[in-house]
Amino acid sequence: MAEDKTSSTADTAEPELTISPEKVCFLIFKAREFDAKEAPNDADPGSNPSDDQDVEVLEDLPDDPVVEEMTSLIESLSQDEQIDLVALAWLGRDDNSAADWTDVRAEAANAYNERTTARYLLGTPQLGDLLEEGLAILGRSCEEFEINRL
């Protein structure tokens, strides 16, 4: 009977992540900033930003600092952290449960390519929502990170 308790405890244990939840939460916030961007519509991009009410901040420009920051962070992660990040997005994308983590992570590991990971993730619609859902499925959240950030 003691063996049954041990196996049920192992089944309900949170899967280990190689990437810290803080890094994932940071990327969630940055992805949401990026998702809020809209197509450039300023006819005179050389004008004074304060005169234009800083509208350029919300425009999706080629040299967007949010994209550069996200790309830099993703590329600085270890291979295992990058795989976890992709797996979290995939876990949050489909009808998965925490029990699926090992399989989803194995799929992400098989698909891993360090040259395309950042580009792939930045091209994923609603990346922030997918990562947040993936974390939630694994029993984690950004609540503590949000409190410390404010």
Identify the bridge partners of residue 38 per DSSP, sorted by sequence position: 59
CA 28 to chain centre: 5
Beta bridge partners, 59, equal 38
CA pair distance 96, 134, nearest whole angstrom: 9
Closest CA to 122 of 48, 33, 57: 33
pLDDT tens digits for range 64-75: 788 899 999 999
With bands split at pLDDT 50, 70 and 90, how would you rate the model's confidence at 8?
A: very low
Query: Which among 78, 62, 42 is positioned nearest to 122, based on CA atoms?
Result: 62
Cβ burial of 142 (10 Å; 0-12, 13-18, 19+) is buried
Model confidence, pTM: 0.74
What is the per-residue pLDDT for 2?
Answer: 45
Higher pLDDT, 142 or 14: 142
Among 25, 4, 19, residue whose Cα is nearest residue 142 = 25
Which residue intervals of the chain are DSSP H helices? 2-12, 21-35, 65-76, 79-93, 101-111, 117-122, 127-137, 143-149
Which letter, b or e, does each residue of 113-126 get, where b requires 16 or more Cβ atoms within 10 Å of its Cβ? eeeebbebbbebee
Position 94 confidence tier, pLDDT thresholds 50, 70, 90: confident
Of 25, 143, 124, the closest CA to residue 73 belongs to: 25
Contact criterion met (CB below 8 Å) for 109 and 83: yes
Is the pLDDT confidence value at 54 over 70? no
